[in-house]
A and B are shown apart, each in its own frame.
Chain A
Amino acid sequence: MNQEQIAPVIREIKEALPEKKEEELKTELDRYLRYGIDPQEAKKAIIRKFGGTPASFASMGEKKLGELKGGEMNVDLTVRCLSSREREQKTQNGDRILITGLIADDTMIRRFVSWEGQMLDKGTTYLIRGASAKTFRGEVEINLGPYTKVEEAPEGTLSRLDISKLPRFGNLQELKLKDVRPGMGNIQVTAKVMDLEKRTIETDKGKKSIFDGMLADDTKRVRFTSWSEFGYDIGDVLTIRGAYVKDWRGIPQINFDERAEIKKEEEIDFDIMKTPHLFAEDLVNAGATDIEITGTIIEIRDGSGLIFRCPECNRSLLNGNCALHGQQSGVADLRTKVVMDDGTGSLFAVLNTEITENVLGRKVSECVERYQDDDQRIVQELSQILLGRDYVMRGNVIRDDFGPTVLPAQMTKHSSDDMEEARSLLDEMEVI
C-alpha cells in the first residue's frame, strides 16, 4: 500500500483522535496492514483502541423522521410522543421490559422501541440523541439503546405540530376484510356499508357525532367506527384508505377519522346476502362477527355437561363454590366445550344451553334428574353423539389468551354427498 492511499486513512484517524501525533498513527496503521488487514477495518480498530468514536458511529446529526431509511446508526431527533406502552419480551436471559409506541415530528409518524427502559410520556416533546433506525417488517423503526440520551425539549418545541395533517402510521396495506387483524395501522379496504348508526359522545372539546356500523366484502363482515362526519349510507360501496384496526375481544374493528380518504365506488358491488363462510385458518389470527364455519368436532373438553352457576354472578361453581360469592346452591345449566377442526386450523367452541339441549334431546331439568348422580355419563353421551361428526356453526368468534373460540348461535349437522364428492375428486386426479 503506497503513501497516497494511506494518507487519507491517516487523516480520518487523526480527525477522530486529534490529540495523537500523525507519525504515531502511521506506525500503528502499518502494524495492522502488515497482517493484511483492510485499511478501513484497521482505521476503526485504531480509533477504538485509543478511545475515539469511529466515523461510522459518529453522530449523523439532527434528522427528520421522514428522512430515515433504516440502517442509520447515530441520529438526533426532535419528536413528540403520541403513545407508549410497556411490553414484556422473553429473551434468553429472562423477561425484559420494552417500551414501544409512536413518535412524530412534522414529517411523519414512526414506531419506537426503547430497549433500556427509557420511558417516553404521551404528549411530551423530547430531544433524542444517539438513536438508531432499523427496518422491521418493512417499517422503519426508531431504536433507543444504551447510548441514547433522552431529554425533554424546551417549552414551545414543535408547538405547530398538527398530527391530523400527517399521514397515518405505517405503509398502506390493501386488504380483504378476512385478512384484517387487530393492531394494524394503515389499511385500505373496499367494502359495503351493511348498517349504520349515529351516536353522540362527550369529548373534552364538547359533543361530537360518531358513526358505528358494519362493513362487508365477499370474504367477511367487520364492524367499523367513523370518528368524523360520515356522509354515506347503507348499501354504499366504499374504498377507505388510511383506516386503523382496534381490538374488541380479539375481533378486529375498523376505525377511521378525517385523515382517511373515502371514495364511493359506483362500479363495484358485493353479493353479501348470506353469512360469510370461513376456514379455521382465517380465524386463528382474528376473531369475527356473524360467520359460518364447517368442521369436525375432535374433542370434548373438561367443563362440559351439567354445570351449576352462581345465582349472583352466573360464574360456574367449582364443588359448589363460587370464586367470588363462596358456597352457593347453584342454578343448573348445560354447556359443551369442544374443539372443532377443519384441517386448516383448530378452534375452541362453547355450545350454549340451547344447542347442548338439542344435541342431547333433553332439557336442563330432565338432565338434572337423570344425571345428577353421575355427571360423567352425560359427557360420554355427548362424546358419542358429537365426536368425529361434521357441523356447521354460525356465530361470533372471539379471541382471548386461550386462543380463538367460536360462540355459535346455531349449529347444524353438515350434510354431504360423499360418493358424489369422491367421484369429482377422482375426475380431478385424472388431470394432474
Chain B
Amino acid sequence: MARMREVARRVFAVEYNRSQHEDRGMEENAPNYIITPLGAIVNRLYFVGVMMNKSNTGSEDSPQYRVEVRDPTGTFYLYAGQYQPQALNTIANLEPPALVGVVGKVRTFVKEDGTFYASVKPEVIFPAELPLRDRWIVETARFTIERLKAVKDAMGQDPPSVDSLVEKGHPNRAASAGVNAVGLYGNLDLAPFSEGVKTALELVLEGRGKDNGHETEEHPPSIPLENEGTGTSPDVKERVLKIINEASGEKGALYRDIITSCEKSGIDKIQLEETIQELLDEGQIYEPTIGIIKPI
C-alpha cells in the first residue's frame, strides 16, 4: 500500500510560524512534520490569504519565487521552484496584492544557533475570493479553538494523557495535540493564539465576504487588499524601528530578539508583526533571510 496522502491541516500563520519542533521520521523518504505550539502535526497545510508580494530569486528561465501570503494573524512565507509547476505558473500570472488559496508542504530551516523557521513549499495556488477567505477563517478557527481548549486542559494534568482528555470530551485529534503541545512546549503563553483567533473571526464579522461569491463562478484577476491592521500608531512604529536599530549587528537583527525587546517595552507580538509588515512595505527595513530584519 502506498503511503497515505497527508491531510492539509488548517492553522493560522501565528501558530505555524511559532513552531519550534519538527519530526523528520527515521525511515527513508519518511514525511517531514512540524509540530506547532498547539500540538498540530503538520506535513501539508491549506490556507487562504493575501499575496502581498512576490520576488523572483531565480532566473527568468528557471524562476524561483519567494512569496508572502498574509492571513489576519501573520504571514506565511512561500518558496516555489521548478518542482512546483502549478504553483509557479499561478504566481507568475498574479499581480499582488491578490487573494489566494494555497495548498503546500511544510519546509523548515534550522540555523546553526538552533533558531527554527517554518515556511511553505506551495503545491497548488489558486485565485480566491472573500467568501472563501471567510470560510477558511471559520474552519481554521474551529480547529484552533479545539486545540486551544485541549492544550489548556492538558496543562492542568500531570502527566497529560490522551485518554483522559478524550474522556473530558475533547475529540481524539485535539487530545493528541494537547499532549504533544505540553510535552514539547511546556506551559506556553496561549494569549497570542487566542488573540489571533479573535482577530480573524472579527474580520469575518465585518461582512466583506457576505453575499458575494458562493454563488458566483467569476474570478476577478485580483482582489484589492483590505485595510486590515492599519491601526499601528506612528509612536509604536518609531519605537519598533528604534529597537530594530539597537538590536542590529552587521547582518541585521534576529526576529526573536526583536520580539523579546518589544515585549519588554509593552508591544505585543501581533502589534509587532503588523508594524514590521508596514515597515517592510514602506521600505524602512528589509528581510535578507527569513527571521532576520535589517534596517535600510
Interface residues of A (CB under 8 A from B): 280-281, 284, 296, 298-299, 339, 341, 343-346, 348, 383-385, 387-390, 401-403, 413, 415-416, 418-419, 421-423, 425-426, 428-429, 432
- Enumerate chain B residues within 8 angstroms of A384, measured Cβ to Cβ: 126, 217, 219
- Enumerate chain A residues within 8 angstroms of B152, measured Cβ to Cβ: 432
Given the known inter-chain contacts A343-B10, A419-B204, please indicate yes or no for A432 contacting B124, CB distance below 8 A: no
- Enumerate chain A residues within 8 angstroms of B214, measured Cβ to Cβ: 413, 415
How far, in whole Å, are A161 and B4 apart by their CA atoms in the complex? 42
Q: Which of B99-148 contact A (CB under 8 A)?
A: 101, 103, 123-124, 126, 128, 131-132, 134-135, 137-143, 145, 148
Contact A339 B5 (CB under 8 A): yes
Contact A403 B5 (CB under 8 A): yes
**Contact residue range for chain B?**
35 or more
How far, in whole Å, are A298 and B149 apart by their CA atoms in the complex? 28
Give 21 CB contacts A-B under 8 Å: A281-B7, A281-B173, A298-B46, A298-B103, A298-B124, A299-B103, A299-B123, A341-B8, A343-B9, A345-B7, A348-B5, A401-B1, A401-B2, A418-B209, A419-B205, A422-B134, A422-B138, A422-B201, A423-B205, A429-B145, A432-B148
B142 CB to nearest A CB, Å: 6
**A343, A345, A425: most-surrounded residue (chain B CB, <10 A):** A343
Interface residues as binary, B1-45 with A (CB distance below 8 Å gives 1, 0 otherwise): 110111111100000000000000000000000000000000010
Nearest-CB residue, chain A, relative to B149: A432
Q: B194 in the interface, Cβ–Cβ < 8 Å?
A: yes
- Enumerate chain A residues within 8 angstroms of B1, measured Cβ to Cβ: 401, 403
Nearest-CB residue, chain B, relative to A387: B126
Contact B137 A422 (CB under 8 A): yes
The one of A339, A403, A426 that contacts B201, using a Cβ cutoff of 8 Å: A426
Contact A385 B46 (CB under 8 A): no
- Enumerate chain B residues within 8 angstroms of A298, measured Cβ to Cβ: 8, 46, 101, 103, 124
A174 CB to nearest B CB, Å: 16
Q: B210 in the interface, Cβ–Cβ < 8 Å?
A: yes
- Enumerate chain B residues within 8 angstroms of A345, measured Cβ to Cβ: 7
- Enumerate chain A residues within 8 angstroms of B173, measured Cβ to Cβ: 281, 344
Contact B145 A419 (CB under 8 A): no
Contact B210 A419 (CB under 8 A): yes
Contact A416 B135 (CB under 8 A): yes
Contact A425 B7 (CB under 8 A): no
Interface residues as binary, B193-221 with A (CB distance below 8 Å gives 1, 0 otherwise): 01001100110110101100010010100
Contacts A298-B103, A384-B126, A423-B205 known; list 14 others, CB within 8 Å. Answer: A298-B46, A299-B123, A344-B7, A401-B2, A418-B138, A419-B134, A422-B134, A422-B205, A423-B201, A425-B142, A425-B197, A429-B194, A432-B145, A432-B194
How far, in whole Å, are A296 and B132 apart by their CA atoms in the complex? 10
How far, in whole Å, are A382 and B128 apart by their CA atoms in the complex? 14
How far, in whole Å, are A348 and B46 apart by their CA atoms in the complex? 16
How far, in whole Å, are A284 and B6 apart by their CA atoms in the complex? 10
Q: B293 in the interface, Cβ–Cβ < 8 Å?
A: no
- Enumerate chain B residues within 8 angstroms of A346, measured Cβ to Cβ: 4-8, 44
Interface residues as binary, B66-108 with A (CB distance below 8 Å gives 1, 0 otherwise): 0000000000000000000000000000000000010100000
Nearest-CB residue, chain B, relative to A299: B124
- Enumerate chain A residues within 8 angstroms of B6, measured Cβ to Cβ: 346
- Enumerate chain B residues within 8 angstroms of A339, measured Cβ to Cβ: 5
The one of A280, A387, A418, A423 that contacts B131, using a Cβ cutoff of 8 Å: A418
How far, in whole Å, are A401 and B5 apart by their CA atoms in the complex? 11
B173 CB to nearest A CB, Å: 6
Contact B134 A418 (CB under 8 A): yes
How far, in whole Å, are A387 and B124 apart by their CA atoms in the complex? 10
Q: B48 in the interface, Cβ–Cβ < 8 Å?
A: yes
How far, in whole Å, are A385 and B214 apart by their CA atoms in the complex? 10
How far, in whole Å, are A388 and B138 apart by their CA atoms in the complex? 14
A116 CB to nearest B CB, Å: 25
Interface residues as binary, B161-182 with A (CB distance below 8 Å gives 1, 0 otherwise): 0000000000001000000000
Contact A343 B139 (CB under 8 A): yes
Contact B46 A425 (CB under 8 A): no
How far, in whole Å, are A428 and B152 apart by their CA atoms in the complex? 14
Contact B198 A343 (CB under 8 A): no
A205 CB to nearest B CB, Å: 37
Nearest-CB residue, chain A, relative to B126: A387
- Enumerate chain B residues within 8 angstroms of A299, measured Cβ to Cβ: 103, 123-124
- Enumerate chain A residues within 8 angstroms of B4, measured Cβ to Cβ: 284, 346, 403
How far, in whole Å, are A429 and B146 apart by their CA atoms in the complex? 10
How far, in whole Å, are A387 and B217 apart by their CA atoms in the complex? 11
Nearest-CB residue, chain A, relative to B127: A384
Nearest-CB residue, chain A, relative to B3: A403
Nearest-CB residue, chain A, relative to B129: A388
**A388, A413, A423: most-surrounded residue (chain B CB, <10 A):** A388
How far, in whole Å, are A343 and B146 apart by their CA atoms in the complex? 12
How far, in whole Å, are A388 and B125 apart by their CA atoms in the complex? 10
The one of B44, B123, B148, B204 that contacts A422, using a Cβ cutoff of 8 Å: B204
A129 CB to nearest B CB, Å: 36
- Enumerate chain B residues within 8 angstroms of A423, measured Cβ to Cβ: 201, 205
Nearest-CB residue, chain A, relative to B142: A425
How far, in whole Å, are A346 and B105 apart by their CA atoms in the complex? 14
Nearest-CB residue, chain A, relative to B152: A432
Contact B126 A383 (CB under 8 A): yes
Contact A296 B46 (CB under 8 A): yes
Contact A421 B46 (CB under 8 A): no
How far, in whole Å, are A143 and B296 apart by their CA atoms in the complex? 69
- Enumerate chain B residues within 8 angstroms of A402, measured Cβ to Cβ: 2
- Enumerate chain B residues within 8 angstroms of A419, measured Cβ to Cβ: 134, 204-205, 207, 210
Nearest-CB residue, chain A, relative to B194: A429
Nearest-CB residue, chain A, relative to B90: A383
A430 CB to nearest B CB, Å: 10
How far, in whole Å, are A389 and B133 apart by their CA atoms in the complex? 10
Given the known inter-chain contacts A298-B124, A403-B4, A432-B152, please indicate yes or no for A425 contacting B10, CB distance below 8 A: no
A391 CB to nearest B CB, Å: 12
